[in-house]
Amino acid sequence: MPHLNLVERWITAATGRTLDQHAVDPIPAAAHLPEAADDLRHLRDELLLAVDHLRTRLLNEDDLHASAAAITGSAKTIQDLAGEYRDAHARIDALIGDETRTAYALTHPGQQIRRRYVDPGDTVLVVLPHTDSCRALNLAGQTAHVRVGSSDARFRPPGSVSAVRLSHSDAGIYRDRTEGRVYTLQPAAGAPTTSGR
């Protein structure tokens, strides 16, 4: 489905960086862009489906043969989704417009990175991103071995006896929406690495 990449293309055009490049930047506003883009993609898909459902009902003349409540219910769903979509769009606008993210991007070129596709059950080495959660736990920028789950990841912080669960986005694990697979990010061969610490 080609529309899956529309949000990423829009963000790349607006910022000059891909979502993968934002993910490895040591700035929270940049690190949160991939997850915010996923939220916007999901809401956009839901809104497209709801609009298409209403259009189909009207084309099939359901509004003339069924109760009006069925049509107004579909319209209310569209209205609710449109509000959520507006909020998700505003969040991305705020992340793109973040002064710290913008200043960092102006003084640091985007890193050359590559994707490494992984499967649930794999244990992989990642650099934990600079999300708010990772910063609050003093984990941002640290290298860690994480065990990939279907929606989260586990790892044992140094000096700890128990494992910590992190969401995929907080564990440096991302979803390729066109392929439906998850991946981690690594510096491309020969690319300089920065920890941002």
Provide mean pLDDT across the span 91-110. Answer: 96
Query: Which residue, 104, 132, 152, sits at the end of a domain?
Result: 104
Structure confidence at residue 4 as a pLDDT band (50, 70, 90)? low
Q: What is the C-alpha to C-alpha distance for residues 95 and 89, in angstroms, rounded to an integer?
A: 10
Match 């499967």 to its residue by tokens: 119
The answer to the question of residue 169 being in a domain is yes
pLDDT greater than 80 at residue 131: yes
Q: Which domain holds residue 150?
A: 112-187
Cα distances (Å, whole numbers) of residue 161 to 113, 124, 158, 164, 172: 33, 19, 9, 10, 22
Structure confidence at residue 60 as a pLDDT band (50, 70, 90)? confident
pLDDT at 127: 92
In the beta sheet, which residues pair with residue 155?
A: 164
Provide mean pLDDT across the span 142-168. Answer: 89
Are the CB atoms for 63 and 71 separated by under 8 Å? yes
pLDDT at 62: 72
The answer to the question of residue 194 being in a domain is no
pLDDT at 72: 84
Structure confidence at residue 196 as a pLDDT band (50, 70, 90)? very low
> Do 57 and 96 share a domain, yes or no?
yes
Provide mean pLDDT across the span 67-92. Answer: 92
How many domains does one find in the chain?
2
pLDDT 10s digits, 168-194: 999 999 988 778 899 999 888 665 544
Q: Which helix (H) or strand (E) holds 101?
A: helix 99-107
> Do 116 and 182 share a domain, yes or no?
yes
The answer to the question of residue 195 being in a domain is no
> Do 67 and 116 share a domain, yes or no?
no
pLDDT greater than 50 at residue 108: yes
Q: What are phi and psi of 144, to 5 degrees?
A: -145, 145
Q: Which of 57-66, 79-88, 144-153, 166-175 has the highest mean pLDDT?
A: 79-88
> Do 92 and 123 share a domain, yes or no?
no
pTM of structure = 0.84
> Do 86 and 140 share a domain, yes or no?
no
> Do 19 and 93 share a domain, yes or no?
yes
> Do 137 and 73 share a domain, yes or no?
no
> Do 7 and 61 share a domain, yes or no?
yes
Strands (DSSP E) along 16-127, which ranges? 113-118, 123-127
> Do 86 and 34 share a domain, yes or no?
yes
pLDDT greater than 60 at residue 1: no
- Residue 12's Cβ-count burial label (10 Å; 0-12, 13-18, 19+) is middle
> Do 100 and 176 share a domain, yes or no?
no
Query: Which residue, 104, 121, 149, sits at the end of a domain?
Result: 104
The answer to the question of residue 81 being in a domain is yes
pLDDT greater than 50 at residue 92: yes
pLDDT greater than 50 at residue 84: yes
> Do 44 and 121 share a domain, yes or no?
no
Q: What is the C-alpha to C-alpha distance for residues 102 and 160, in angstroms, rounded to an integer?
A: 36
Query: Which residue, 104, 124, 155, sits at the end of a domain?
Result: 104
